[in-house]
Structure 1
Amino acid sequence: MKNKLYFLLILSITLLFSCRKQEPDNKLAPLTGTKSGVVALGSPVGDVVGKITVGYQGWFAAIGDGSPINAWWHWTQNWGQAPSSSNNGIKSWPDVRDYTNTYQTGWANLNNGQSAKLFSSFSDQTVNVQFQWMQQNEIDCAALQRFNPNGSEGPVRDAITAKVKTAAETYGRKFYIMYDVSGWTNMQSEIKTDWTNKMSAYTSSSAYAKQNGKPVVCIWGFGFNDTNHPWSAAVCLDVINWFKNQGCYVIGGVPTHWRTETSDSRPSFLATYKAFNMLSPWMVGRIGNVNDVDNFYTNVQQADQTYCNNNGIDFQPCVLPGDLQEHQRAHGDFMWRQFYNMVRLGAQGIYISMFDEFNEGNQIAKTAETSAYVPAGSNFVTLDEDGTYCTADYYLRLTRDGGRMLKGTLALTAVRPTSPGGGSGPSIPYGQSITLKGNNNMYVCSENAVNPMNCNRAAAQGWEHFTVVNPGGGKVVLQNNGYYVCSENGIQSMNCNRTAIGPWEQFDWIDNGDGTISLRGNNGKYVSSENGTIPMTCTKTTIGATEKFRVNQ
């Protein structure tokens, strides 16, 4: 009896593996049940499968930033002239408070009175702070866009690639090269040369993305039915197979309707698309509201996912924050519906379009919150455009929670869990009198408007109580005895001696999720108790123990 049972067991296992479809480039792929109930032959979790990837342009520069291009690269129409109302190349205005290196533009001052400055992607600090944002918001991977590197832009793109590698290693993120072949005349030969002579060297970095043990490369633009992507299916297939023969896992950034080969896809390309290890159809310009999102889910993306499952191809759909200037975002509801649909679809990964695309207004990087942070007289739409205040980092935080839902650490939910105003803890206690206790267990003191503020009082009396004033825009102002707390723009010690509310008297109230709060000044730096040893400052770039305060304890 035991021998018979043993024979039946061996027979069952043999039949199971003989029936399992194999794909040469997915030999490690297990049978996985997706959330849509379809049994898929997908790759195991790696650096792109099961992960959030953001498209990273890294293509902004400024005259005087030391870059090889020495131009207002991508900020303007005329790169030789400073950005201004008559020379503008962007749709959204970035929040630049976290950058130490910024460059003066020709725009009028911001509505808060500060100079209108922009960042350069050539600055190490810019790239580092952006990858730090990725780390803080659990964004796994950045797809570094690489256009034809053989023209005048080549040297600056090469330099930024090296900076991305360093930042990814520093902040524990992954990156890979994403070739955008748009307009690349001699693409078929030159892309191979560029990979062989330059880009392949980056695969030795611990931060370079691997999937199924292979370095990841994406090629965006094959099969698009326009004059900017003119190659035949045979030429594109040759390039895909060449990269696969180099040992790469190859992603295809393909037209929206790749499977049915309608208006946006060239005919007879399906066999070429099937050669990719992963497909990522483009969605920018296809959807603009929640109804569009659901229509694509029902009529296009479900069938796309099924096709990929049946053909051993990983599927990485795009998720967009929406064009801010076109009022598509609905304070995050538009983006969250996409996350919800793609997770319940069973997608193998998600691609965010884009991280820093201020030109098209589809960026998730920190963006102007309110009209106070855009140039006076400009028509830039800010994150509070529909009347709901959103912090500058809101779409980074929304991406964090979408990633958690993809990975199963957050339950599948159609209701957006992310607060536009920041944090999920107690609301800001506007109108209330509060005390602030530092990490040293001492209270913050206003010093009766006479001396710089300190965090060194053992008991809370009159000078240690502050009324929380609401100046609008989600900010807070702290008042004691008729005077307002001032950050002094981080230049000197903090004081409580101002009789009027201006930009330096307003702070972001940040719930740290551990029973403490932090205060961020108008200069983008954090208020520090300085552990009670010296007067308080607003100069810290990160939140540590001395930048955390307990309220009313």
Structure 2
Amino acid sequence: MGWSRRTFLTAAAGGSAALGLSPLGLGAGTAAAAGTPGDVVGKVTVGYQGWFACPGDGAPINTWWHYSANGGQPPSPSNTTIVAWPDVRDFTHTYRTGYAALGNGRPARVFSSYDQQTVDTHFLWMQQNNIDTAALQRFDPVGGEGPTRDAMAAKVRSAAESHGRRFYIMYDVSDWTNMQSEIKADWTNKMKAHTASPAYALQNGRPVVCIWGFGFNDNQRPFSAAACLDVVNWFKDQGVYLIGGVPTWWRTGDRDSRPGFLDVYHAFHMLSPWMVGRIGNVSDADNFYNVATVPDLADCAAHGIDYQPCVLPGAVTLRQRAHGDFMWRQFYNHVRAGVQSVYISMFDEFNEGNQIAKTAESQAWVPADSGFLALDEDGTACSSDYYLRLTGDGGRMLKRQIALTATRPTPPLTGADGGTSTVISLRARANSQYVTAEDAGAAPLVANRAAVGPWEQFDQVDAGGGTVALRAHANGRYVSAENAGAAALIANRTAVGTWETFQLIRNSNGTVSLRALANNQYVSAADAGAAPLIANRSAIGTWEQFDLITA
């Protein structure tokens, strides 16, 4: 099987010119759905690949899995299968590649999905951005990739349990020769055991399973309608809630769909039509609202089937993202149509460039010799977590927690793009010394100065929602609760994300405390101020109190 998750689909989207749009409101798709709110209906689900590995990470596959065309050699400009560069600052274990250093001089390193800390970090990002459910991709597990994929299921289960997220198994039948019998055996003998987890997704009281690929009119999925219907009915007999990842034109039965599959599609409990390669700009998204979303939703409602359309961030390499406007337009169109659920394509798909996971925000964070684009490719600066935050806001609109709006509410940067600021200094009650960005910001923050100079001054930037960021005058960089709060605070970030955001607590004695959003722990002048500041305290004591002094 090739490196790509799925062959990139190139069938025409039925024209890109926008047709006339229905008035604002929720009138287009208000028919009752089959399912009541559960772990997929009424929720945001992300497709989770979990398929990156590196030699030395302990994975049975023991190769540069999905990083290199020649997996025996590290990824490099001439040996790569990724098209976008991950931001790896949140990971404790990373792996040196054959690329040149990043634009900022740091070595070019990548993560391994096989490291439990990587999966935990991914699910922490989901938790922080209110992403409900992850669909773990599972390809033919009988081949050489099987042991690694088996282990990834256990790692995802652990991370979902730790971070209060839900997960389910999503079988991709691409290139699976003996699928009809082997998929049943795999569920019975291996994957069904994971439904015992309290984190396994349930819908209508049933464990959720998705099968992606039935009915596609290509050589990777040549299965007959009869064989596919047999598998669908078998899974339903096992008591699962079954989602079908189906062709874009499933309803009309042409273009990317094999004829004669409508009965197969209508046998699923939920349908999730594929969209990658079908739309690439706002005009395409508006066209699909008319020619696909609205009539698809009506067909599903008429047959008692739930509907879960895709939302795409857009391919970085194709310059589709338009600093979030493309993705937001899809959210807007789905919500105004009355859609209850969405599937984000994808969470960690660095091979096609349509990932929402943290991504290089500028050329400073991209290997100098790679030719990769960063999130600021269209001239608008975006923090590395921008598409996670955008997904979170889209989910809030889907759940009617915010009003329907065609205007994207999510700023590409948090606090750094116009937020108001005040110059402050912090004096630790632990030792009555001022906090300094030591060594001109190159070393962690520590409370060891008797007077205020430039290193002891910070811009307190309004980061929204009652939170702040601190920009050090020592080097103009934002203070970060490094490594998701596990390491000391340091002023080393050019943009504001979750690690750089703090809740400012005003205590009754006139002092302030800072609670890091990275881990919800309070910042402490540890060891009575002798050690660097770190966000590791669950309660406020003397070491966690500071006098806030304005310039």
TM-score, structure 2 normalization: 0.82
One-letter amino acid matched to 1:271: D
Q: Distance in 2 between matches of 1:405 and 1:150?
A: 41
- In the alignment, which of 299, 310, 328 is matched to residue 307 of structure 1? 299
- In the alignment, which of 435, 459, 470 is matched to residue 445 of structure 1? 435
| Contact residue 288 and residue 328 of structure 1 kept, 8 A | yes
- In the alignment, which of 382, 392, 395 is matched to residue 390 of structure 1? 382
Instruction: Please state how far the C-alpha of 1:444 moved relative to its aligned partner.
Output: 3.9
| Aligned pairs (5 A) from 1:195-274 | 195-274=187-266
Q: Distance in 2 between matches of 1:439 and 1:245?
A: 65
**Residues 1:189 and 1:34: Cα distance change in structure 2 (over 3 Å):** farther
**Residues 1:320 and 1:348: Cα distance change in structure 2 (over 3 Å):** same
One-letter amino acid matched to 2:473: Q
Q: Distance in 2 between matches of 1:448 and 1:84?
A: 36
Instruction: Please state how far the C-alpha of 1:436 moved relative to its aligned partner.
Output: 3.9
341-350 or 153-162: bigger deviation: 341-350
Secondary structure of the 1:50 match is coil
C-alpha distance after superposition, 1:65-107 (max 9, x if no partner): 1110000000111111111111011011000000001111111
Q: Distance in 2 between matches of 1:143 and 1:426?
A: 37
C-alpha distance after superposition, 1:31-81 (max 9, x if no partner): xx9653632243100010000000000000001111100000001111111
- In the alignment, which of 434, 446, 453 is matched to residue 424 of structure 2? 434
- In the alignment, which of 467, 472, 481 is matched to residue 478 of structure 1? 472
Secondary structure of the 2:245 match is strand
Q: Does 1:129 align with 2:125?
A: no
**Corresponding residue for 2:86?**
94
Q: Distance in 2 between matches of 1:328 and 1:387?
A: 13
| Aligned pairs (5 A) from 1:119-518 | 119-422=111-414, 427=419, 429=421, 433-436=423-426, 444-446=434-436, 454-455=446-447, 461-462=452-453, 465-466=456-457, 478-479=472-473, 504=492, 508=496, 510-512=500-502
| Contact residue 414 and residue 495 of structure 2 kept, 8 A | no
Q: Distance in 1 between matches of 2:487 and 2:168?
A: 42
**Corresponding residue for 2:18?**
none
**Residues 1:461 and 1:123: Cα distance change in structure 2 (over 3 Å):** closer
Instruction: Please state how far the C-alpha of 1:377 moved relative to its aligned partner.
Output: 2.0
**Residues 1:116 and 1:469: Cα distance change in structure 2 (over 3 Å):** farther
**Corresponding residue for 2:525?**
530
Q: Distance in 1 between matches of 2:385 and 2:94?
A: 19
Instruction: Please state how far the C-alpha of 1:412 moved relative to its aligned partner.
Output: 1.0
Larger Cα-atom Rg:
1
Instruction: Please state how far the C-alpha of 1:461 moved relative to its aligned partner.
Output: 4.7
| Contact residue 38 and residue 202 of structure 2 kept, 8 A | yes
Instruction: Please state how far the C-alpha of 1:262 moved relative to its aligned partner.
Output: 1.3
Taking only the aligned residue pairs, the percentage that are identical comes to 56
Q: Distance in 2 between matches of 1:180 and 1:137?
A: 26
**Residues 1:493 and 1:367: Cα distance change in structure 2 (over 3 Å):** closer
Q: Distance in 1 between matches of 2:239 and 2:26?
A: 28
Secondary structure of the 1:215 match is strand
RMSD: 3.8
**Corresponding residue for 1:45?**
37
One-letter amino acid matched to 1:330: A
**Corresponding residue for 2:20?**
none
Alignment size in residue pairs: 504
Long gaps (5+) in structure 1: 1-32, 496-502
Instruction: Please state how far the C-alpha of 1:466 moved relative to its aligned partner.
Output: 1.9
One-letter amino acid matched to 1:479: H
Secondary structure of the 1:351 match is strand
Which structure has more helix as a fraction of its residues?
A: 1
407-416 or 154-163: bigger deviation: 407-416
| Contact residue 93 and residue 374 of structure 1 kept, 8 A | yes
C-alpha distance after superposition, 1:420-453 (max 9, x if no partner): 1025997164xx7433467979774339979985
**Residues 1:494 and 1:293: Cα distance change in structure 2 (over 3 Å):** closer
